[in-house]
């Protein structure tokens, strides 16, 4: 396997990890005022991701850095062509991080409600815009012979991309609701399970429609296989959630449900990359000439070789450290853990 193809797969894996992990904490953020009926319950919902959310964002930083080093022309064209959407994601993530910290600085209910809605905004907007961006990447954007984006921002707001954004929001909402059910106890857990079942039906419908349109446009045996598996995993997760019983206090069914939605998101994102290959950014203007591919967008072989050795050394350390973090904060929490 060529190093350029290997790094395309590694970057795809980083984005898969980012969307699976950041997906549930985006979903949790969107559900703070929905599942939290008073301040203590909202604090419980926030605390389910309190030790985790900033670590999950490391996957995005690493993916961006890897793209910059391994495929500099892909990075340059993507970040210039999608400048405003990606800036909106950045601003929303900044607002979200500030809101997590500032909501507890004052005791007034109105103060905390405002920051809670900032958390909702900072979670829903990146989820939607990421879906919009990835849908446009798979669909293709107008590039000239110099691989510069020659379209407008309004071109990005096409029906297929808007469907991609809505699908991402619905999947993350379901993923987050199941994570809350897995991490909490009492009334919040029961409400999260009920919401996950309802949200999951909408997510499944949107996901099937979006992946179906993607396959009709891009095709590819690998993409078809991964899309089918994604749909099956999502359905399996919803079935496991519906079969949850009060006689299972350890949350075994919720664990299977979370694994199902995590696998569905992972396979859905993987199917987008599978349908994209060998392109990294297809052009809608003279595709055979103007498109960026794994080969013509890659760095030199020497650069990719050095990057590969760095990844072999440091990637396992990062994964093990984050896995240890999840293990340490694995227990359920409830209002009994939150002081007045």
pLDDT, tens digit (0-9, with 9 covering 90-100), for 223-248: 677 777 777 787 777 787 776 544 45
DSSP state of 156: G
- Long-range CB contacts for residues 318-324, cutoff 8 Å, separation at least 24: 318/58, 318/62, 322/55, 322/58
User: What does residue 40 show for φ and ψ, rounded to 5 degrees?
Assistant: -65, -40
**What is the reported pLDDT for 216?**
78
Written as six digits, the tokens of 185 are 């106890």
pLDDT, tens digit (0-9, with 9 covering 90-100), for 10-33: 999 999 999 999 999 999 999 999
Contact 177, 31 (CB under 8 A): yes
What is residue 103's three-state secondary structure? coil
**What is the reported pLDDT for 210?**
87
Written as six digits, the tokens of 147 are 């691989």
CA distances from 89 to 83, 107, 127, 130 (A): 10, 29, 9, 8
d(CA 179, CA 191): 12
d(CA 335, CA 83): 42
Spans in the chain with pLDDT lower than 70: 1, 218-223, 243-252
**What is the reported pLDDT for 220?**
67
Q: Which residue has the tokens 């064209």?
A: 77
Residue 99: CA count within 13 A, CB half-sphere: 25
**What is the reported pLDDT for 284?**
86
- 10 Å CB burial of residue 208 (0-12, 13-18, 19+) is middle
Beta bridge partners of 333: 184
What is this structure's pTM?
0.91
């Amino acid at each position: 396997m060529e190093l350029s193809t290997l790094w395309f797969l590694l970057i795809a894996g980083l984005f898969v990890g980012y969307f699976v992990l950041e997906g549930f904490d985006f979903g949790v953020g969107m559900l703070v005022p929905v599942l939290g009926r008073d301040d203590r319950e909202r604090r419980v919902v926030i605390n389910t991701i309190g030790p985790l959310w900033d670590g999950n964002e490391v996957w995005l930083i690493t993916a961006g850095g890897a793209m910059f080093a391994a495929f500099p022309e892909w990075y340059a064209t993507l970040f210039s062509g999608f400048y405003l959407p990606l800036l909106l994601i950045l601003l929303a993530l900044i607002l979200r991080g500030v809101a997590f910290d500032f909501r507890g600085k004052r005791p007034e209910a109105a103060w905390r409600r405002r920051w809670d809605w900032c958390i909702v905004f900072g979670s829903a907007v990146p989820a939607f815009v990421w879906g919009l961006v990835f849908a446009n990447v798979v669909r293709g954007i107008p590039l000239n012979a110099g691989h510069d984006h020659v379209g407008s921002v309004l071109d990005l707001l096409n029906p297929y991309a808007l469907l991609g954004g809505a699908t991402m929001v619905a999947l993350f909402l379901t993923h987050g609701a199941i994570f809350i059910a897995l991490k909490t106890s009492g009334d919040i857990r029961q409400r999260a399970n009920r919401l996950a079942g309802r949200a999951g039906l909408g997510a499944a419908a949107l996901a099937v429609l979006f992946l179906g349109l993607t396959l009709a446009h891009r095709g590819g045996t690998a993409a078809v296989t991964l899309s089918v598996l994604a749909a099956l995993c999502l359905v399996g997760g919803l079935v496991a959630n519906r079969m949850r019983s009060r006689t299972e206090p350890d949350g075994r069914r919720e664990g299977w449900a979370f694994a199902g939605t995590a696998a569905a998101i992972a396979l859905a994102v993987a199917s987008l990359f599978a349908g994209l290959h060998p392109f990294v950014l297809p052009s809608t203007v003279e595709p055979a000439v103007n498109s960026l591919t794994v080969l013509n967008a890659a760095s030199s072989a020497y650069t990719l070789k050095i990057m590969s050795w760095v990844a072999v050394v440091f990637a396992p350390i990062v994964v093990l450290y984050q896995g240890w973090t999840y293990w340490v904060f694995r227990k359920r929490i409830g209002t009994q853990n939150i002081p007045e």
